[in-house]
Structure 1
Amino acid sequence: MTSVPVKGAVTEPVTAPAALLSAAGLKVAFPGRRGGPAARAVDGVDLDIGRGEIVALVGESGCGKSSLARALLGLVAPAAGTVSFDGAPLSYGARALKAYRRRVQLVLQDPSGSLNPRHTVYDAVAEGLRVHGYAGDERAAVAEALARSGLRPPERFFLRYPHELSGGQRQRVVIAGALVLGPELIVADEPVASLDASVRGEILALLLRLRDELGLSALVVTHDLGLAWNIADRVAVMYLGRIVESGTVEEVLSAPRHPYTRALLSVLPEAGGEPVVLGGEPPDPARVPAGCRFHVRCPALASGEAERAGAATRCRTAELPVLPGRGRGAACHLAPGQAG
């Protein structure tokens, strides 16, 4: 059992196997407009994903989720920090990245946009095999990937084009294209956001089945905490480039410790109470506010709760540290167990 003490944030011990994919102190920045300060899209993130584990990365649009996912995939090089896979730091040479992307695959949000309308289903799924110089039976590999994705009999779909498929079937083709290379981990960016409600459950059930059958790990990027509840083992809540709360799905969604997490949960239909409306938009990532980066929108500060707890000044001035990559944590001056 290990415990990582973090001053200014509540954390608890955790027992866990070695991570398959790990980020440590990860930062991603983009040039500012007209020579202004750089946008800190990812501003210090530790995150571990274990073998056979599904982690949901949750937050509003613009919070840095997709930038973090791209950095984990090696699509952007971090400004600082490291990404490690299977215990080895990620190398950014062309050959090393090609080998890495065979083991870690991306599933995009919009299947219509990620499938070439001029390619048949067979060609769409076989593309990865051809890029990586697969030497085995291509037809058998494509058929197996389609079957695992729920398109059976697979041969019936070989010569179809994307426009001839339903939205759910197109998403299954995208998943098959990721599975055909036998990856150990997939990064799914809003995998059901473009689908009808009736189809979402089927795709989520498919991802869970693939985890159980193949031992597949997954990072699911989403704005929907309800989706996280249905699919994830652990949840990491992101705001303005940082993870502000993490833990098992039961811990985070049943007993949230951060006001931002509580606000996200309040809008779910099953929440029951009044939705918490956050004022304004998230701050510009090129101008991250001092203190807790959520304080300018925090309901606890606006309501006087932070003042009554003697934490208002710390909320406005004392920066919170990066949470550890695993375990129960909340980067909030008002979280249970905080010292004054």
Structure 2
Amino acid sequence: MTLLRADDVTVHFGAARAVDGVELDIRAGEIIALVGESGCGKTTLARTLLGLQTPTSGQVLYEGEPLPSGIRGLREYRRHAQLVLQDPTGALNPRHSVYEAVAEGLRIHRVPGDERELVASALSRAGLRPPDRFFGRMPHELSGGQRQRVVIAGALALDPSVLIADEPVASLDASVRGEILALLLRLRDELGLAALVVTHDLGLAWNIADRVAVMYLGRIVESGPVEQVLTAPRHPYTQALLSVLPESETPATVLAGETPDPSRVPAGCRFHPRCPLLAAGLPVEVATRCRTVDLPIVDGAAAGVACHAVSVASSAK
């Protein structure tokens, strides 16, 4: 079942096309990794899915219904879709105890029930046991991994159906990263919790995701099951991202230049100015299409790729 859907979503800031026609489904009980370089629009899309950013066009649907526009409706929606930030230190008030940090959302949303029991249950599910041992602790008394667990507990206290995690382990030591990723997998398996994990790290995607959506300059350029996308990538951008991983068996591909300014999106395929396939030489007809013909939007609910060279090669088989 699709819980959350971006339906042809665009977000423009003046001339800058930060998100430029994105289709993406998040289904119950699955983890999607949204990957790409910094500045490709990942965080803007995540904020839009949370209702923190209004789309310029298109819409976000939760359980088939458009997100509410009023303050009260959005507040209720955010009980179901919770944000987990990259930096747990910045996400926690240094003057609030662990108990206060987790109880804050319960109080804002006026969640019924025994507050102490709800806080204890959330901390326990986040792996902080026994929970009452952490009630009075302050953020500076916790390790980085424990602080991230407190942030996750604050989200779990509201019993959400979707977590949107923006680089959830980027600030953590390597020894702790695996523990937090294992926690997210356990929450998926035990609670049926869905998650969108925003990351630039394809290695992280391999370890946690069911599906991968690769984003470049405001659009999804390749998507599909994690095994398919990461073991047999079809888009040259995905191939380049994978080639620089330490465990890669292929020579690293250094992309030319920087990601273009989103206010100056190139004509044709937006990746063509940096494309290694085009630089290496393509048939004239294909190269002309790369430079002049825009590509259809890739639907992030299914396997797909946006590349003229791949399309021509596939149709020739």
Is the shorter-chain TM-score for this pair beyond 0.5, marking a shared fold? Answer: yes
Match of 2:126? 149
Residues paired across the two proteins, number: 315
Report the Cα offset of residue 325 of structure 1. Answer: 3.2
Deviations 1:309-330 (A, max 9, x none): x410000000001112311100
* Greater shift in the superposed pair: 87-96 or 234-243: 87-96
Match of 1:274? 251
CA distance in 2, matches of 1:307, 1:128: 58
**1:10-25 superposed matches below 5 A:** 18-25=1-8
CA distance in 2, matches of 1:338, 1:99: 47
Q: Please give the secondary structure, in 2, of the residue aligned with 1:270.
A: coil
Q: Please give the secondary structure, in 2, of the residue aligned with 1:188.
A: strand
TM-score normalized with structure 1 length = 0.91
CA distance in 2, matches of 1:188, 1:159: 26
CA distance in 2, matches of 1:61, 1:325: 19
Q: For 2:286, which of 311, 329, 336 is the aligned residue?
A: 311
AA aligned opposite 1:327: A
Match of 1:217? 194
**1:66-81 superposed matches below 5 A:** 66-81=43-58
Match of 1:323? 298
Percentage of identical aligned residues: 71
CA distance in 1, matches of 2:119, 2:307: 48
CA distance in 1, matches of 2:152, 2:283: 49
Q: For 1:98, which of 63, 68, 75 is the aligned residue?
A: 75
AA aligned opposite 2:160: P
Match of 1:283? 260
Deviations 1:31-89 (A, max 9, x none): 3xxxxxx2100000000011101110000000000000000000011000010001111
Match of 2:156? 179
Report the Cα offset of residue 131 of structure 1. Answer: 0.4
CA distance in 2, matches of 1:324, 1:58: 15
Runs of 5+ unmatched residues, structure 1:
1-17, 32-37
CA distance in 2, matches of 1:67, 1:199: 27
Report the Cα offset of residue 307 of structure 1. Answer: 3.3
TM-score normalized with structure 2 length = 0.97
Q: Please give the secondary structure, in 2, of the residue aligned with 1:211.
A: helix
Q: Please give the secondary structure, in 2, of the residue aligned with 1:271.
A: coil
CA distance in 1, matches of 2:94, 2:136: 12
CA distance in 2, matches of 1:29, 1:193: 27
Q: Please give the secondary structure, in 2, of the residue aligned with 1:290.
A: coil
CA contact 1:24–1:325 (8 Å) conserved in 2: no
Cα RMSD for the two superposed structures: 1.2
CA contact 1:107–1:187 (8 Å) conserved in 2: yes
Match of 1:206? 183
Runs of 5+ unmatched residues, structure 2:
none
AA aligned opposite 1:44: G
Q: Please give the secondary structure, in 2, of the residue aligned with 1:337.
A: helix
AA aligned opposite 1:103: H
CA contact 1:30–1:39 (8 Å) conserved in 2: yes
**1:110-125 superposed matches below 5 A:** 110-125=87-102
Report the Cα offset of residue 215 of structure 1. Answer: 0.4
CA contact 2:10–2:18 (8 Å) conserved in 1: yes
Match of 1:26? 9
Deviations 1:90-138 (A, max 9, x none): 1111111011000000000000111110110000011000100122100
Deviations 1:178-212 (A, max 9, x none): 10000000000000000011100000000000001
Match of 2:233? 256
Q: Please give the secondary structure, in 1, of the residue aligned with 2:314.
A: coil
CA distance in 1, matches of 2:251, 2:172: 27
CA distance in 2, matches of 1:26, 1:172: 31
Match of 2:110? 133
CA contact 2:223–2:305 (8 Å) conserved in 1: yes
CA distance in 2, matches of 1:301, 1:88: 42
Relative contact order, higher structure (CA 8 A, sep 6+): 1
